[in-house]
Amino acid sequence: MLVPPAKAGSFRARFTSGERLLGTFIKTPTGHATEILGHAGFDFMVIDEEHAPFDRQTIDQVLLAARASNIAGIVRVAEPTPSNILSVLDCGATGVLVPHVASAEIARRIASAARYSGGNRGFSNSPRAGGYGARSMAAHIELSDAETTVIAMIEDVEALDAIDDILATEGVDGIFIGRGDLAVALGAENANAPEVMKAVEHITAAARAAGKPICVMVGAAGEAGKYLPLGATSFIVSSDQGLMRRAGLEAVKAFAELKSLAAQD
């Protein structure tokens, strides 16, 4: 019997139960960063097909690395189309993060595309998701529907009025608040502007009322503290590139200080 990696197989249950989870974006189209971050203890990573140079082949490779290093692999799809959602799920994605879910109709379409029973996901148990044919049709349908996680990105002004209906959509497991896009849409100076935070409070209040988990992106652990009282339980911290840049800057600074001390001797 095929047994999925622990964090991948349990991610939906952990996410929907409100367990505190830590993830990061993957921007570099290789499996190395995913392996490193998985072994470091991150709970999940998000392959950024929307804003990084990923195609189906590289997504497939990175999802293989995710399985090898016991980290749940989510894909932020470039387009919320059934074919795009199907392709990443067939490659073995634990779930999808879907941008610009601004209405209940969009929410219904993406939820349907990700599910077999009650949905319209195209069936095949021959890719990685089905164990290359090792799972029967019934077993693959049951396992996929139980574990596939659908997260809607709330980042449009239109979504603010539709948030209750989006959250009530069957098959949408939770939301991610896209503060950057909200800031642009609202004409705000930055993602922490008062008008953005007012929108965030509106969204989180609706999610708490609906009993749906909330994921937000933060720069560091300290920033997460202000979202915990709003109900956020899952946090995306930076990206592989951001983490590498931060570590690089710290190394350069440390050696600059060392050089300065040596010059004083």
Active site residue 51: yes
Tokens of 213: 């988990």
- Angle at alpha carbon of residue 173, lines to 168 and 177, rounded to 5°: 85
Tokens of 149: 């996680």
**122 DSSP assignment:** P
Tokens of 171: 């098959």
The rounded distance, in Å, linking the Cα atoms of 74 and 89 is: 9
Tokens of 218: 């933060």
The rounded distance, in Å, linking the Cα atoms of 104 and 159 is: 9
DSSP assignment of 184-220: HHHT-SSTTSHHHHHHHHHHHHHHHHHT--EEEEESS
**69 DSSP assignment:** T
| Catalytic-labelled residue, pool 32, 51, 140, 202 | 51
First-last CA distance in the chain: 66
Q: Which of 49, 154, 144, 147 is nearest to 104 (CA)?
A: 154
Token look-up 């574990």 returns 147
**29 DSSP assignment:** S
User: What residues are annotated to the active site?
Assistant: 51
